[in-house]
Amino acid sequence: MRITRKLAVLAVVPLIAVLAFAALAVRTAASQALDAARLKTLVELGSQAGQLTHQLQDERTAAAVLLSGSDGTSGGDAPAAGQSNAYLDQTRATDASITRYRRLRDRLQAMPGGTNGLLQAVDGALDGLPALRRQVQSGPGAELSAVTFQYRIVVADLLDFRADVAEAGKASATVAARINSAVALARAEEYASQEELAVLRAQAAGGLTPAAQDAIAATRSGYTESVLEFGRNADPQWQAWLDHALTGDGVIDAGRLEDAVERSRPGDRLPATGVWTGAMDQRVDRLQEVGQRIDQSIDGDVTHLRNVQRAWTLGEVLAVLLVVAAVVTLALRLGRPMIRELRRLRDAAHAVAHERLPAAVEALAARGALGSATPEEFAAAAGDPVTVRGRDEIAEVGSAFNSVSREAVRIAAEQAAMRDRLGALLVGLARRGDRLTGALIKALDAAERDEHDPARLERLFALDHLASRMGRNNHSLLVLGGEASARVRAQDAAIEDVLRAAMGQIERYTRVDFGTFDPGVLIAAKAVDHLVHLFAELLDNATAFSRPELRVTAEARLLADRVVVLICDEGIGLAEDQWAPVNARLASPPPVEVTGVRAMGLGVVGQLASWYGIRVELRPRPGGGTIAEVSLPAAVFRVGTAEPVQPATPAPEPVPVLAPAAAQAGGPAPAPTTARTASTPTTAAGLPQRRPRGAEPEPAALAAPAAPAVPAPPVDERRDPARVSAAMAAYARGIGASRSGRVAPTSVLSDPEQKENS
């Protein structure tokens, strides 16, 4: 997972947790706001139900007056037209109140089961009012008790709904107590209206009866209890409103009439209908006015509660949104700089890994790259890859990365210094060994000049050959040390002479056969000695890792833009997974190290090839063995006629010369060591014909072109390795031919099928 996603997870997970808790809080606040809004609607509907109750009470009273047939002076008079019109006017007022009630009723959504049942009962009772009104208007045949009872049922349903408003709206205890106080006052109003009806029914019945007395007493008792209940729960202000409303002449008259009715006995005359209804209606109206004021007060409280809940809900939502915005902004402001710094560290690490460190290592690959500077100074000069900013952990990581980079460059510089010291050690050993080998060869020369015994001469030749191999080993150390010989060759040499000279520098030279050589291929003088050394290492490797009875073949062919030299053996070869690493080391030889000294044959081949841009590749030979293919570029050969090779003029003391690095300079190689070819006459058996040193004339091939040959003093002469190699080659050919009677080996490239397989 990327660091961006990790930082996002670190910011999002706590944010999700906060949002979850905030959602719960918002949900609670929203639920309370919805409950407050529902309670507001229920309170408004309850208030309208109270007004509708009052209108129904007035309609019920008008119906009772109409059905009792009284004109207001006696109970037996026929109904007057004014009473009927009063009833109709009251029904229209009731219908207007019903319309307002139903408009509020439609705003209610889902309600609890009990409340919903009460509302449905009210709706059904209201739907039955037209039939009840027609019954009232039908005349004296309508039963007054039945009519008033049906009105009482509708009023009772409305009062029950008002009593259920607090519970249905989930009102608080305080609001519920205030609502219940309003309901208690509405019940007191209903009891007062029922008391009025009880007297009217008694008047219609012709006088007061015991049952009528009980009904009147029950209504007065209910009225008193309702007023007392209102006083227990109502606010003091509400109680003051009620006390003020129950004072005045009309209310006092109603109380006096109540007392008169209560003291009446069966058969006594009751108060006149008009006087009674006028006094009682005034009390009921006063109670209704107080109820409306209380309903308005409750509605104001509930509206305030709803607005507060809405404000809290909106505030919580805004707070959550602000928190989310703050968290996101903070995460972006803090996270993006962190990500930028981490990406800068990543880019710096890539630059160090792919650019700075390889460039430093490449700069240290050349010998003497450090100069007089120490590894610490070189590392400090390389600079820091990361610019440290701030003091946080990312800055500490940048500082640590700079330390790692400096340490890596310092270690690379120490390795370069160690390689320089190792190269200097190898060069010193090679120079010392070369001087000792030169002294040994000089001693062998002296012994060979005076020796005529073939057996001892053969042993001297063997020692001479061993000394040549020792010289090649010294030159290998010199190559690994990064230097070349200071001897200078003046003229080019034929490719076959170069290969014969290489054959003369290996131990098992008798097993080497030469195949086809395209004529006219001349190796540049500057590269002759190094190619002799390169081919000698390949030939020595081929003969060392094949059975003694097997032959090794060498041949050279000229192509359009290069010369290809093939050295083929039938040895053990390499494992399948070793060809690529070996060829990689040949193509890009590593710097000098201890392992290169332990197996320095191929290491020397790679170094020599890199000096001249030569490509050396090893591949498996069909049928077993190895083919070493050496591709010589046009810079190291030419096509022409071979000229006599002059002996190289040795320097009095070899001077160290840095070896050319093909990858660095790409120019001409350093002055190679001299390799002279010589033509030595042989006997019939193939052995070199030995002549006294003083009497031996200088071969024409070694003579200077412009002057006759002048023998050099024996004591100052340095033996040419090419001459010794040529002599050894002739010696080997003679011995090989005499022992096996073989014909010359067949060239690998001369057979088309073998060409294709190669």
Tokens 């309508």 -> residue: 142
pLDDT digits (tens, 9 = 90+) for 516-557: 898 889 999 988 988 998 999 899 889 988 888 899 999 999
Mean pLDDT in residue range 281-305:
90
pLDDT band at 700 (very low <50, low <70, confident <90, very high): very low
pLDDT digits (tens, 9 = 90+) for 469-506: 777 777 777 777 777 665 667 889 999 999 999 988 88
Please, are residues 665 and 613 in contact by the beta-carbon 8 Å criterion?
A: no
DSSP string, 677-702: -----B-TTSPBPP--TTTPPPPGGG
pLDDT digits (tens, 9 = 90+) for 187-224: 999 999 998 888 888 887 777 888 888 888 899 899 99
Tokens 């019920």 -> residue: 60
Mean pLDDT of the chain: 77
Percent of the chain predicted with pLDDT > 70: 78
Can you give the pTM of this predicted structure?
Answer: 0.51
Mean pLDDT in residue range 431-458:
81
pLDDT band at 428 (very low <50, low <70, confident <90, very high): confident
Burial environment of residue 239 by CB neighbours within 10 A (0 to 12, 13 to 18, 19 or more): middle
User: Does pLDDT of 573 surpass 80?
Assistant: yes
Contacts of 534 (CB under 8 A, 6+ apart): 502, 604, 605, 608, 609, 614, 616, 630
Secondary structure (H, E, C), 81-97:
HHHHHHHHHHHHHHHHH
Dihedral of CA atoms 139, 141, 145, 147 in degrees, nearest 10, equals: -50
- Report CA-CA distances (Å) from 497 to 338, 535, 606, 635, 728: 70, 12, 22, 19, 13
Contacts of 352 (CB under 8 A, 6+ apart): 385, 401, 405, 408
Rg (CA), the chain: 65
What does the alpha-carbon distance between residue 37 and residue 236 come to, in Å, rounded to a whole number?
A: 27
Nearest by Cα to 482 from 527, 411, 523, 421? 421
Nearest by Cα to 649 from 465, 484, 467, 486? 486
What does the alpha-carbon distance between residue 609 and residue 556 come to, in Å, rounded to a whole number?
A: 17
Tokens 């050993």 -> residue: 429
Tokens 């009460």 -> residue: 118
pLDDT band at 652 (very low <50, low <70, confident <90, very high): very low
pLDDT band at 11 (very low <50, low <70, confident <90, very high): confident
pLDDT band at 615 (very low <50, low <70, confident <90, very high): very high
Burial environment of residue 578 by CB neighbours within 10 A (0 to 12, 13 to 18, 19 or more): exposed
pLDDT digits (tens, 9 = 90+) for 294-342: 999 999 999 998 899 889 888 888 988 888 888 888 888 877 887 888 8
Nearest by Cα to 674 from 425, 438, 366? 438
What does the alpha-carbon distance between residue 606 and residue 669 come to, in Å, rounded to a whole number?
A: 15
Q: Phi-psi region for residue 72, left (φ > 0), alpha (ψ -120 to 50) or beta?
A: left
Structure tokens at 582: 């070996």
What does the alpha-carbon distance between residue 225 and residue 216 come to, in Å, rounded to a whole number?
A: 14
Greater model confidence, 750 or 18: 18
pLDDT digits (tens, 9 = 90+) for 97-132: 999 999 998 888 777 778 888 888 999 999 999 999
Greater model confidence, 421 or 83: 83
Query: Strand pairing partners for 553?
Result: 513, 568
pLDDT digits (tens, 9 = 90+) for 237-266: 999 998 888 887 778 888 888 888 888 887
Phi, psi for residue 27 in degrees, rounded to 5 = -65, -40
Quick one: which H or E segment has residue 670? none
Contacts of 217 (CB under 8 A, 6+ apart): 262
Nearest by Cα to 237 from 303, 294, 172, 163? 294
